[in-house]
Chain A
Amino acid sequence: EVQLVQSGAEVKKPGESLIISCKASGYSFTNYWIGWVRQMPGKGLEWMGIIYPDDSYTRYSPSFQGQVIISVDKSINTAYLKWSSLKASDTATYYCARRQGSGWNWWFDSWGQGTLVTVSS
């Protein structure tokens, strides 16, 4: 069974750094891209970026380029999302998701449970 298990909720102050994680199991981690999706309170889904665990090749949405860093440690089947300096506007639930598909048609077939990040002074 494919599973993506994310790290727990975080409460941080503006300016602090943060790394959240997404541990994969039940499939060959290096063969599937992992994406990150933001959902602000009461709002919709926004794609942030995606990484290929085998070589760490990463693509970012223009809206998130330079704001976060996506990485992986393939030795422990885990993807990460990192902020260097949080802002109140980063308050949201963040999901990791496995990409599936072929050609130019891609979807996210398995999702983590989400990590709620709250940034408040």
Chain B
Amino acid sequence: QSVLTQPPSVSGAPGQRVTISCTGSSSNIGTGYDVHWYQQLPGTAPKLLIYGNNNRPSGVPDRFSGSKSGTSASLAITGLRAEDEADYYCQSYDTSLGSSLYVFGTGTKVTVL
């Protein structure tokens, strides 16, 4: 059972902006641990999209951006494109007793209308 909650799905038309939330708690995001985001295209392995809340690895378009505040974080995709249709996962670190150290969000499916 994931300790980071995301909406199951979001959708938008090409060119639009969509955001995905990632809600945690005081034992993970709220403690100050960074949030990272992964994109999983259909049938492929996850790929690092955002690290350290708002940093993009080389090659990731600047249409993708991240932010964090309190016990939550968000991923924004601007100028939505057909190739952005994928599952997106947030990830952080959790040190509560009995918890997995590396926690993933529940995942969000982005659909391009």
- Residues on A lying within 8 angstroms of B by beta carbon are 35, 37, 44-47, 50, 59, 61-63, 95, 97, 100-101, 104-114
Contacts and interface: CB of A to CB of B under 8 A. Distances in A.
Interface of B: 2, 32-34, 36, 38, 44-48, 51-52, 57, 89, 91, 93, 95, 98-107
- Secondary structure at the B interface, as helix, strand, loop or mixed, is loop
Given A108-B91, A109-B57, A45 B104 contact: yes
Contact of B107 (A44, A61, A105): A44
Contact of A47 (B33, B44, B102): B102
Contacts of A46: 2, 100, 104
Contacts of A35: 102
A109 B48 contact: yes
Contacts of B32: 104
A95 B46 contact: yes
B106 A44 contact: yes
A98 B51 CA distance: 14
A89 B60 CA distance: 35
A100 to B, nearest CB: 7
**Max chain B CB contacts within 10 Å: which of A35, A46, A107, A112?**
A107
Contact of A62 (B36, B38, B100, B105): B100
Contact of A106 (B45, B46, B102): B102
A81 B82 CA distance: 36
A47 B103 contact: yes
Contacts of A63: 100
A33 to B, nearest CB: 10
A50 B103 CA distance: 13
Contacts of A112: 45
A63 B32 CA distance: 24
A44 B48 contact: no
B33 A44 contact: no
**Max chain A CB contacts within 10 Å: which of B51, B57, B100, B105?**
B100
- The 5 closest A-B CB pairs, nearest first, are A107-B36, A105-B34, A61-B100, A47-B102, A44-B107
